[in-house]
Amino acid sequence: MFDLVLRGGRVLDGTGSRDVPADVAIQDGKIAAVGQLGAAQAREALDVSGLTIAPGFVDVHTHSDALPFAADPLPAKILQGVTTEITGNCGSTPFPLEPKTAHLLREHHAGLFADMAWDWTRLSGYLERLEAVGPVSNVAALVGHGALRVAAMGFDRRSPTDDELRTMQRLVAESLEDGAVGLSSGLIYAPGLYSQTPELVALAEVLRGSGRPYASHIRGETATLFDAVDEAIGIGEAAGVPVQVSHLKAAGQANWGRAGELLARLESGRARGVEVTGDVYPYDAGSTRMSALLPPWCHEGGKGALLERLGDSALRARIAGEFETGLPGWENLAGAAGWDRVRIASVEENQSYLGRSVQEIAHEMGVEPLEAFCSVLQEEHGAPTVVLTMMDEADIRTILAHPLVMIGSDAIITRGRPHPRTWGTYPRVLGHYARDVGLFSQPEAVRKMASFPAEKFGLSGRGLVVEGHAADLVVFDAATVNDRATYEDPEQPPIGMPHVLVNGVVAVRDGVFTGARAGQILRG
């Protein structure tokens, strides 16, 4: 007697092979049988005739670190079939915490990681808390370089002392012991951007032999794109660890048409023996914290110091000048996009800013864009996020289609006018890019969204529809599945994706989140 049988569907197993007609039986949270199961007895049966059964999607690039702690978790991810979230990307994790600097990390993450107790010190404590509340999707956590740096040396703009570096190495080792599935960095963000390459090599070396990757939001995706990707691959090469280049893109008009060159860097890294891969989200805009658009020196000392600087008119003038001229080594995102292409995605106070560009807000205020930018940031206590349009469609397609590239949403869990990737990434790849544009087959899309990422991050027993694997499953209609989230109206669930199961529990039924919190903690 099985717990549940999905009857009458076609199974797309996740290896990239084409779909075949088969039933799927589930017992104790695992896939117990796949095939023609006839009249096999089950406590419950789900008729999925005409639909495709695929492995649940493993989102390799998320910022869902705080999502499970919400009383009413936003179903944006589970409704698009994400059954496993790899958290802690871009160097940002809510651990480890050291008593002296914990408040700095907490202030830094206000607005993104709300609803958390912050009462742990290391990964094990954070994961215990997660386990207690019960995540909707499975969670595997990276440890973030930014958080390591805050723990060891706050928001100091310098290289670490030998002692501080040893502290960070110890914290990486502890995180691995606790089950971290890799190390992430965000080298355009404070405090990660204050690091030099040798520091990152020294930290990545702690991963050597574990098979765990170094995943990086590289030091630049606009003017310094090629040096930055070389640095990331070089870190993996020097440390002897696999590399994941996060959210691959050729951003800024000067880079348009250069995605092929970017991917060639990955290929040549592999030719030298580095196990390098990348991920991408299927959109022409990025999204990040609004404060991340400021020059590096603004962040020294942390959020409090940053907000104070914004109130100083002489410093505002200095910032305005630097937006014009740039600074060596600074990823000037607003300069690359243009103020008319930087839109406010989330706020705490003034809802009327949502969806509007800094240019428009400046026009209304009757001031220069930089003045408007600083005012909004200050009014909103440094917490807003923004959406920046800066990629070319042809490059997005080149990257999506490359065999070394898997899918990751980079979804930021905020309300308001978030980037549509938060709600639409996976159905958009399956429907728009695979079926409608024909970039690749749906079986290949599922491979890029399930088994390939599970393999990269060492999640054994996930990512395929085979006997013995966890019953993380997505049921979709191959002919109609698609995203509905748009830049104008992003908080829209997909169509054609009626059921999602996490560890054998129905988390989405007929397109509605059931409230199930059946996710497990996947410790490395």
User: 352 burial class (0-12, 13-18, 19+ CB within 10 angstroms)?
Assistant: exposed
242: which residues sit within 8 A by CB, 6+ positions away? 211, 212, 213, 214, 236, 274, 275, 276, 277, 456
Minimum CB separation from Zn ion for residue 89, in Å?
A: 6
189-208 binders of Cu ion (CB under 5 A) = none
Contacts of 371 (CB under 8 A, 6+ apart): 316, 320, 362, 365
Of 235 and 465, nearer to Zn ion (C-beta) is: 235
Q: Which of 51, 90, 187, 497 binds Cu ion (CB under 5 A)?
A: 90
State the binding partner of 59 from Zn ion, Cu ion, none, CB within 5 to 8 A by kind. Answer: none
AA identity, residue 119:
D
Between 184 and 482, name the residue whose CB sits nearer to Cu ion. 184
**Min dist. Cβ of residue 93 to Cu ion (A):** 12
- Please give the residues from 347 up to 376 whose contact with Cu ion meets the rule CB under 5 A: none
Cα-atom radius of gyration of the chain, to the nearest Å? Answer: 22
Please choose, from the candidates 281, 303, 279, the residue with its C-alpha nearest in 3D space to the C-alpha of residue 290: 303
Residue in the shown chain whose Cβ atom is closest to Zn ion: 217
Are 1 and 37 contacting, i.e. CB atoms less than 8 angstroms apart?
A: no
Residue 326 sits at φ, ψ, to 5 deg, of 80, 175
Helices assigned H by DSSP within 134-186? 145-153, 162-178
State the minimum distance, in angstroms, from the CB of residue 141 to Zn ion: 16
Residue type, 117: A
Q: Looking at 136-144, 350-358, 394-402, 405-413, which segment touches Cu ion (CB under 5 A)?
A: 405-413
Which stretch, 47-55, 88-96, 155-163, 195-203, contacts Cu ion (CB under 5 A)? 88-96
| Residue appearing with tokens 């589930």 | 26
Q: Which stretch binds Cu ion (CB under 5 A): 86-94, 176-184, 297-305, 320-328?
A: 86-94
Q: Which is nearer to Cu ion, 22 or 412 (CB)?
A: 412
Structure tokens at 280: 């991408």
Smallest distance, Zn ion to C-beta of residue 430, A: 23
Q: Of the listed pieces 129-137, 224-232, 383-391, 410-418, which binds Cu ion according to CB under 5 A?
A: 410-418
Cβ-based nearer residue to Zn ion, 357 or 409: 409
What minimum distance in Å lies between the beta carbon of 61 and Cu ion?
6
Cβ at position 411, least distance to Cu ion in Å: 9
At residue 149, what is the residue type?
Answer: R
Name the residue nearer to Cu ion (CB basis): 89 or 175. Answer: 89
> Nearest Cα to 183, choosing from 409, 53, 192, 379?
192
Residue 435 binds which entry of Cu ion, Zn ion, none, CB below 5-8 Å type-dependent: none
- The reply to whether 89 sits near Cu ion by the rule CB under 5 A is yes
Q: Among all chains, which residue has been given the structure tokens 């549940």?
A: 4
- In DSSP terms, which residues pair with 214 in a beta bridge? 183, 243
If one asks whether residue 425 binds Cu ion (CB under 5 A), the answer comes out as: no
Closer residue to Zn ion, CB minimum distance, 284 or 371: 284
* Stretch near Cu ion under the rule CB under 5 A, chosen from 81-89, 228-236, 350-358, 508-516: 81-89
Q: What Å distances lie between residue 50 and 9, 14, 450, 495, CA to CA?
A: 6, 18, 22, 15
Considering the complex, what minimum distance in angstroms separates the CB of residue 286 from Zn ion? 8
Please tell me the count of residues contacting Cu ion according to CB under 5 A: 3
Q: Which of Zn ion, Cu ion, none interacts with 380 (beta carbon under 5 to 8 A by kind)?
A: none
Q: Does 86 bind Cu ion (CB under 5 A)?
A: no
Work out how close the CB of 368 gets to Cu ion at its nearest, in angstroms, rounded to a whole number.
Answer: 30
Shortest CB 186 distance to Cu ion, Å: 7
Q: Which member of 410, 496, 502, 518 binds Cu ion (CB under 5 A)?
A: 410
Least CB distance to Zn ion at residue 219 (A): 11
Residue 120 Cα distances to 96, 102, 116, 233, angstroms: 8, 10, 10, 33
What is the closest distance, in whole angstroms, from the C-beta atom of residue 90 to Cu ion in the complex?
4
- Cα-Cα-Cα-Cα torsion 430, 186, 463, 43, nearest 10 degrees, comes to -90
| Residue 309 partner contact from Cu ion, Zn ion, none using kind-dependent CB cut-offs of 5 to 8 Å | none
Alpha-carbon distance 490 to 506, whole Å? 25
Whether 142 contacts 86, CB under 8 Å: yes
Chosen from Zn ion, Cu ion, none, partner binding at 442 (C-beta under 5 to 8 Å by type): none
Closest to Zn ion by CB, 101 vs 288, is 288
From Cu ion, Zn ion, none, which one binds at residue 357 (CB under 5 to 8 Å depending on kind)? none
Residue 160 structure tokens: 């670490």
Binding residues (CB under 5 A) for Zn ion: these are: 90, 217
With vertex at residue 473, the alpha carbon angle to CA 74 and CA 92, rounded to the nearest 5 degrees, is 45
Of residues 86 and 90, the one with the C-beta less far from Cu ion: 90
CB of 435 to Cu ion, least distance (A): 27
Question: What amino acid is encoded at 7 in this protein?
Answer: R
- Please give the structure tokens belonging to residue 406: 């898997």
Residue 49, number of CB atoms within 10 A of its CB: 10
Comparing CB distances to Zn ion, the nearer of 402 and 419 is 419
Q: Which is nearer to Zn ion, 246 or 451 (CB)?
A: 246
Q: Tell me whether residue 63 or residue 316 sits nearer to Zn ion (CB atom).
A: 63
Nearer to Zn ion, 217 or 309 (CB): 217
- Count Cβ neighbours within 10 Å for each residue of 222-258 and write b for 16 or more, e otherwise: bbbbbebbbbbbbbbbbbebbbbbbbbbbbbeebeeb
Strands 411-412 and 62-63: parallel
Site of interaction with Cu ion (CB under 5 A): 89-90, 410
